[in-house]
Amino acid sequence: MFDLLSKITPAIILLDINMPEINGVEAIKILKSSPHYADIPVIFLTSINNKGSELEGLCLGAVDYITKPFEPLLLLKRVEIHLTIIKQRLKMEEQGKKLKNFNENLQKMVAEETEKVSKLQVSVLETVVDLVESRDDITGGHISRTMNWLKYLFSGLIETGAYADEIEDWDVDLVLQSSRLHDVGKISISDAILKKKGKLTEAEFEEMKTHTTIGASIIDRICDSLPKDNHQFMNQAKILALTHHEKWDGTGYPYGLAGEEIPLQGRLMAIADVYDALISERPYKSALSHEMAERIIIAGAGAHFDPRLVAAFQKVSWKFAQGLSSTALAASF
């Protein structure tokens, strides 16, 4: 039998149990354990007429069990039924393969489209950041520098172990990148206020304060049009935009939050933001040295700033000094 099988692959096998060389039970075990023959349906055709043998045959993988003497027409009909089942199975397997290919192609197309959308989002984000920078040209470079100061503060947190549990699950790079939108609300502040060469009046300062809440609602609007997997980035951006002017003692804006009511991101950003304002030249003030800015930040511990974050700032203050001198060096070229 197996010699014949090596030459042809039958559509169906009719197998007796009592055979001279190998009995049917052993033969079906060999057939079903072979990757080449396992799918060929086997019908037992035997003179053994007992329920135990029939059950054993079906359990070993036979599709039918017919006892001798048999009615030839009935046997042909049953073979025909099993051949129809095979045809249908092969057809379904073929359709399954086509469906699998279709799904793979679809997934590839979706991945390509997602990549395109993702690139588009990055370029839109870059454009918005550029827009904020160009709108606020007096503080040129503020966005990229504060992101850098924020990065140093994160290293200070790691060195001091402050808020280790809280930042353990953070995607720090995502927070850093999202910080670039912290002043996005300045897009809506009038030039007369944004570029004023002098101290703001009380009313002007009130308008300036709205860059926090307006920034948050701009981010909300961007978020509505983005797929859900980008929301984490925008959520971080919103927290930073909304809370970077809150103060530890509750005298900040827009909500007057105090202490740990202010999200950690906002408390970190407050130090990075103020440090950058201090070391930058503005129409109404000259740039302070790193040492002077450092003194002001330290003096603000417990009032403007979270004392534990100020301690982290002190730990890595040398990085700020180094970063500032390399920025100044770059600006002088």
| Binding flag, residue 133, Fe ion (CB under 5 A) | no
Q: How far apart are CA 26 and CA 165, in angstroms?
A: 64
54, 136, 183, 246: which one binds Fe ion (CB under 5 A): 183
For residues 230 and 121, is the Cβ–Cβ distance under 8 A? yes
CA distance 55 to 322: 84
Contacting residue, 64, 136, 246, 273, with Fe ion by CB under 5 A? 273
Query: CA nearest 304: which of 277, 332, 333?
Result: 277
Single out the segment in contact with Fe ion by CB under 5 A; choices: 35-43, 51-59, 246-254, 265-273: 265-273
Nearer to Fe ion, 64 or 183 (CB): 183
**Are 110 and 292 spatial neighbours (Cβ–Cβ below 8 Å)?**
no
The nearer residue to Fe ion, 274 or 301, going by C-beta atoms, is 274
Q: Which is nearer to Fe ion, 133 or 273 (CB)?
A: 273
Stretch that binds Fe ion, among 81-89, 105-113, 182-190, 249-257 (CB under 5 A): 182-190
Residue (64 or 306) nearer to Fe ion, CB: 306
When the beta carbons of 183 and 246 are compared against Fe ion, the nearer one is 183
**What span, in angstroms and rounded, lies between the C-alpha atoms of 202 and 199?**
9
Beta strands in the chain (DSSP E): 13-15, 42-46, 64-67
Stretch that binds Fe ion, among 12-20, 57-65, 88-96, 266-274 (CB under 5 A): 266-274
Alpha helices for 60-201 (secondary structure H): 72-135, 142-160, 164-167, 172-178, 191-194
What end-to-end distance do the CA atoms of the chain give, in Å? 89
Judged by the rule CB under 5 A, the positions of this chain that interact with Fe ion are: 183, 273
